[in-house]
Structure 1
Amino acid sequence: MSTKNHLLTILEQQKGQTISGQELADRISVSRTSIWKAVSTLRKEGYLIEATTNKGYCLPVESDLLSSEAIRPLLAAELKNQPFYLFKAIESTNQKAKKIAIEFPSKPGVILSEEQLKGKGRLGRFFYSPAKTGIYMSLILKPNLTTTDATLVTTAAAVAVCLTIEKLTDKKPKIKWVNDIYLDDYKIAGILTEAVTNFENGTIDTIILGIGLNFRTPIEGFPVELESIAGSLLSEHTGKLTRNEFIAELITQFYQIYQTIGKRDFLKDYKERCFVFGKIIHFKQGKQEFDAIPIDIDQQGGLIVRMQDGQHQTLSYGEITIQRPFH
């Protein structure tokens, strides 16, 4: 580990505490000059490290730059050793994840970016991804799953996002089938899952799981076209909960579900949080449009709806629009 990364790990683990330059030098086994140079480099990267004469260095509690050094210590041993790839700004974490998966075909990984320039949503939509206020993350998964079970990854991720929010805050998120997370009638997160298939044997080589979450409301607010539909997990710009803590818990929650995804136990949690049941929805199939009422989720995460003629139909994919207010 480099001096810079070792220093950052210590400061992250003792966030809010002032540590002398000599103590840091002794713990890392380098000179105090090396510590000073590492601090200077970290400051250039955006870390607001405070220095107090004759006392030492401190990373403020409110510091919230994405940092693998802050995330890894919060993960179980089997999760912390996977590669982390952090970026200041990239077009899309899913796009970057695909490239990394090709370069390192046997490895899982976590891709994080402070900002997405061309964030991807479902159906090719743009996902607004301003700097330093959201969580833009893609997991590279190397599944040992049947194709049938692999289709449940999006559903599992939606549950993981909700469980993370519920554990770390007092908020009660809801799920709009199939992949949107809502809080107080506003969308705060979306999930985009993409697969790389081996055409020779029909198996799935890699799954790219993209999660975008509005962690804090941008200081400038949302664009006019999103004001009525987009929300954030937290409205305040300071607070004890950091993005790094949230990411670590989200990775933990997801892998707990993912390891036993074939049992489908998590579908109970999904149903409990899905708010579309009993509401009138609108959807398209080909060139035809229909209204229906959702009544259940099947074992593949499909939405079972009652059509206007009383017949039941299962939607396996697609977009639904709720025709009346959420309340």
Structure 2
Amino acid sequence: MTVKDEVLKKLKQQTAFVSGEALAQELNVSRTAVWKAIKELEKAGYHIEHRSVGYRYLSSDVLDQAELVKKITTPLAVEVFETSTSTMKDAQLAALENRSTPRLFVADMQQAPHGRFNRPFFALPRAGIYMSLLLRPQAELTALPQYTILMAVALAEAIDHLTGLTTSIKWVNDIYLNGKKIAGILSEATTDVEANRLNCIIIGMGINFSIPQTAYPAALQTKATSIFPTGEATITRNDLIAEIWNRFFELVTVDPNVALTRYRQKSFVLGKKVTFQQKGQTFFGTAIAITEHGELVVDLGSEQKVLASGEISLSAIQ
């Protein structure tokens, strides 16, 4: 551990003020080294109260690998980055290197965030959650759960539980709050067709956590928002990340119909008029059902169409 890490660990263990001299003696370093460590911690985003009697750690929304490992009840490796080109790419590289799984990649800022159909999304440092999970399920393809559905339920319910808000799910992979998007999910998989097995699956997501509403580009002002649009959060990102994955791993172990039922209950698409394009043609209809495979059934009046998530995107919902 660096002096900075040691100082942070000691401060987190105390509720009272700790003097710089006591920290220096306990860590066998100079007072100057302690002072520099405090400055480095504050630069990293940690809140530390200064008094004549010493220093005291205050609740800070800084992504913390050790805290996440402790709070997530399922054993997994966690890697935290200050910035990443894409946590999906981090996970893809780990898969190629055959690194241990499950493995979670979390970034404070993502330089090239993207969702379904390679669509970019808006990101800000220390105001969002950008993460991807690498899994190696040991099951035949036909026995695999609908991971996007499980993830959407876990994410929406985690936000509701910790904040008291009421989110909804736009088929198939977006989380909405008050009619605006706050999060998107992307799942990618590699398969062994001959063995009828999945080699690995990567589940990624971008969550608008505390991006101020005024910070969004003009084109997104009416389309996107954050869990905390004022920029002032009542929970930490570590709290939410842990809650999301604890719920996800719990859902993986239960009957798939449990998650599917909750997914349908959270849907704001069912019963509404939707517009979509297929093979260059625009269709209008009513979303009437979500199948056990996560497909959306749309009643066009003269016929019903079953939409697969990987092929169709809804362009309008009324």
Give TM-score, length-normalised by structure 1: 0.86
- The separation in 2 between residues aligned to 1:316 and 1:13, in whole angstroms, is 50
- The separation in 1 between residues aligned to 2:242 and 2:146, in whole angstroms, is 22
What letter is aligned with 2:138?
N
For the pair 1:68 / 2:60, whether they are aligned, the reply is: no
Q: Which residue of 2 aligns with 1:30?
A: 27
1:315 is displaced (CA, Å) by 1.4
User: Structure 1 pair 113/291, CA: closer, same or farther in 2 (3 Å)?
Assistant: same
Q: Which residue of 2 aligns with 1:42?
A: 41
Q: Which residue of 1 aligns with 2:305?
A: 313
1:45 is displaced (CA, Å) by 3.5
1:97 is displaced (CA, Å) by 1.4
Which consecutive unaligned segments of at least 5 residues does structure 1 have?
A: none
| CA offset digits 1:239-297 (Å, max 9, x no partner) | 4311111111111111111233x533111110111011121111222233322211111
- The separation in 1 between residues aligned to 2:9 and 2:246, in whole angstroms, is 20
For the pair 1:120 / 2:118, whether they are aligned, the reply is: no
1:48 is displaced (CA, Å) by 3.8
What letter is aligned with 1:66?
L
Specify the SS of the correspondent of 1:59: strand
For the pair 1:195 / 2:195, whether they are aligned, the reply is: no
Q: How many pairs align? A: 314
User: Structure 1 pair 299/57, CA: closer, same or farther in 2 (3 Å)?
Assistant: same
For the pair 1:289 / 2:286, whether they are aligned, the reply is: no
Does the aligned pair in 2 maintain the 1:9–1:70 contact within 8 Å?
A: no
User: Structure 1 pair 64/17, CA: closer, same or farther in 2 (3 Å)?
Assistant: farther
What letter is aligned with 1:157?
M
1:199 is displaced (CA, Å) by 4.8
1:52 is displaced (CA, Å) by 2.9
- The separation in 1 between residues aligned to 2:250 and 2:13, in whole angstroms, is 24
What letter is aligned with 2:249?
Y
Specify the SS of the correspondent of 2:114: coil
- The separation in 2 between residues aligned to 1:67 and 1:282, in whole angstroms, is 42
% same residue: 34
Q: How does 1:109-258 map to 2 (within 5 A)?
A: 109-150=103-144, 152-218=146-212, 220-258=214-252
1:67 is displaced (CA, Å) by 1.2
| CA offset digits 1:43-63 (Å, max 9, x no partner) | 45343433433x3322222x2
- The separation in 2 between residues aligned to 1:236 and 1:11, in whole angstroms, is 29
Does the aligned pair in 2 maintain the 1:148–1:300 contact within 8 Å?
A: no
1:119 is displaced (CA, Å) by 0.2
- The separation in 1 between residues aligned to 2:258 and 2:275, in whole angstroms, is 29
User: Structure 1 pair 17/205, CA: closer, same or farther in 2 (3 Å)?
Assistant: farther
What letter is aligned with 1:45?
A
What letter is aligned with 1:305?
V
What letter is aligned with 2:44?
E
1:205 is displaced (CA, Å) by 1.4
| CA offset digits 1:139-167 (Å, max 9, x no partner) | 11121233245461011111001110111
User: Structure 1 pair 10/200, CA: closer, same or farther in 2 (3 Å)?
Assistant: farther
Specify the SS of the correspondent of 2:134: strand
- The separation in 2 between residues aligned to 1:149 and 1:9, in whole angstroms, is 44
| CA offset digits 1:2-29 (Å, max 9, x no partner) | 6544543454566x75334566578xx6
- The separation in 2 between residues aligned to 1:123 and 1:13, in whole angstroms, is 46
- The separation in 2 between residues aligned to 1:297 and 1:35, in whole angstroms, is 58
Q: Which residue of 1 aligns with 2:269?
A: 276
Specify the SS of the correspondent of 1:139: strand
- The separation in 1 between residues aligned to 2:308 and 2:71, in whole angstroms, is 36
| CA offset digits 1:67-110 (Å, max 9, x no partner) | 1133233222x33xx22211122221111111122224332211
For the pair 1:91 / 2:115, whether they are aligned, the reply is: no
Greater Cα shift, 111-120 or 145-154: 145-154
